[in-house]
Amino acid sequence: MLTQESVLQSLKTVKYPGFSRDIVSFGLVKQLDIQGGHVSLVLQLTTPNAEVAQQLQKTVEQVLKFDVAIQSVKVEVRQPGATNAGPNPWGNQTRVTGVKRVIAIASGKGGVGKSTCAVNLACALQQLGSRVGLLDCDIYGPSIPLMMGTHERPTVENDLLMPPASHGVKLMSIGFLVEGDAPVIWRGPMIQKTIQQFLLQVNWGELDFLLVDLPPGTGDAQLSLCQTVPLDGGVVVTTPQEASLGVVRKGIGMFEKVNVPILGLVENMSYFTAPGGERVEIFGHGGGQAEAERKHLPFLGEIPLFTEIRKGGDEGVPVVVSAPDSAPAQAFIKIAAALKARF
């Protein structure tokens, strides 16, 4: 039976010219009408480029006509004119050379263990056979150098920064470029420029995944990232209690507004197992999964509180590396496998 969902699934195979993302996740499909086997839809573009419009119209028609349940297809492409043209939100986006997928790790709220999740997921993906990079976009409070156990300064070759690597993962952070505990006291434009340089003026090589550890909030760093490169998705980290979820919803809303597909939610600090075996739900339990269900988003998994996870971050050897067969490491590896399976 022909449904809107089945047609949208077909349309998700149509990539926006020059990008790895599809026209559905970009939010370009504005109207979709199905009458029996007859399908009509409207594509609302933000570019006046006639070639792009023609290419998309032709590709959409070809993809939908391949479905035997569809008898006819009508595609209307609308473009900005002299009176309604606005700035193209993706007009300055550039794909990172050699990188297949860019995924943001976000929370909206500080203190939920987002960076801990980012380093362990990066190492877990590497152990699962992927080529991985990790970009620390927390300019004011970089923690990736500590958690990955290296403070090596990047070198420069052919006007590109050469990222240091640790545990098989390529890294970049402002923490590699500032001295000791020196604070970074910058305004928004400096943050935007730095993030653009870390993305586009770093020799990342060939990567399957570039994970981007975002700072808390929905400010300059997040907007700069979305405007600089086309994101293939976002992973949202939360803790179970409402105090965290209330702010995390703002992070989800940010991704939705900039048309970044949310790959799933992770619930960190889900519970603690006492030495006697008693399970203690310090921050409550199940809030992350309930929120994922409420928002119709995938729930990637939960990470209980383990001392080994904290020690790994402090010592620069993530638990996924130091004890890959342990329960805490397996929790991250399971989530990384679920994330990898999305592509």
Residue-level pLDDT, tens digit, the chain, 343 residues: 788 888 998 999 998 887 778 898 888 898 888 888 888 899 988 777 788 888 899 999 989 988 878 888 889 998 875 334 445 555 567 889 999 999 999 887 788 889 999 999 999 999 999 999 999 988 888 899 999 999 999 999 999 999 999 999 999 999 998 876 666 766 667 878 888 899 999 999 999 999 999 887 666 777 778 778 888 889 999 999 988 888 888 888 888 777 788 899 999 999 888 888 788 998 888 899 998 898 888 999 999 999 999 999 999 999 999 999 999 999 999 999 999 998 8
Please name the residue ranges forming H helices in the chain.
Answer: 4-11, 50-65, 114-127, 144-148, 188-200, 220-228, 242-257, 287-294, 307-315, 319-322, 327-340
d(CA 14, CA 16): 7
Please name the residue ranges forming H helices in 37-187.
Answer: 50-65, 114-127, 144-148
What domains can be seen in the chain, in order of their start residue? 13-78 (3.30.300.130), 102-340 (3.40.50.300)
Q: Which two tokens stand for residue 88?
A: 């193209």
Sequential DSSP letters for 257-310: HTTPPEEEEEEEEEEEE-TTS-EE-BTBSSHHHHHHHHTT--EEEEEEE-HHHH
Closest CA to 201 of 137, 145, 158: 158
Query: How far from chain centre, in Å, is Cα 97?
Result: 17
Q: Which two tokens stand for residue 76?
A: 């209307």
d(CA 147, CA 312): 7
> Reduced to 3 DSSP states, what percent helix, strand and coil does the chain have, rounded to the nearest 5?
35, 25, 40
